Structure 1
Amino acid sequence: RLQSLGIKVVQPVLATAMALEGALRYPTFFDLLVNHDQDNIDVSEVTLSNTRLAGTPLRQLRLPGDVLIISLQRDESVIVPHGDTVLKSGDCIGLIGSPLALAQATTLLRG
């Protein structure tokens, strides 16, 4: 019922198991996501609402140099993006980069 309202339902036992698996398999990346020990790198998500960018291949985006697109969620699918991936309005874009570059990229993608 909660999911039909758009509310994420979290199962604590499953979430804990997934976190432990992530920490063991990918310790450096896990530390980056969880601890934020480094001030010069962060992760973020932004929904594409800049209609001028819809239909644009990623390789043509003018993103700041210190940011990378690491994931793209479209509808119910997660896409591993590449240069030929074409943006659509409403795409949820996963970013990694410096805080300043993330802020600039977010401004661009939101319009």
Structure 2
Amino acid sequence: MKIMLAGYNLDSETIRGMGDALPEIGERTPETIAAAYARISRNPRPVNELRSLARAEVEKARQSNRNIVFEMGHSSIAEHAVFNIDVLGVSRLLVEEIEKFRLCSYTEKSQRY
């Protein structure tokens, strides 16, 4: 079995700021988006400020997401972080097992090829 991260969505401001000349931008992860949107209902700051804070403190955003999703059970914020993952060389049974989870959408290669 081979599982590869094929890509993921990034905050648009992070993308604009990226470049080979800017290695100091730091870690690029969609977790910061999820952390920001988890706070919009209870924080008076605008969401762009919340995203900026999350990007500045990635590990804090990551821990916050863990707490909110896994300890508090608010899994809907995880939907703001989008990953594209390739899963290759697995059985039809495993494909069905993977596809039964709610927080994902799937594009499956035909079994005829």
Between Structure 1 and Structure 2, the one with more helix by share is 2
Higher RCO structure, 1 or 2 (CA under 8 Å, sep 6+): 2
Do both share a fold (TM > 0.5)?
Answer: no
Tell me the TM-score normalised to structure 2 length: 0.21
For the pair shown, which has the larger CA radius of gyration, 1 or 2?
Answer: 2
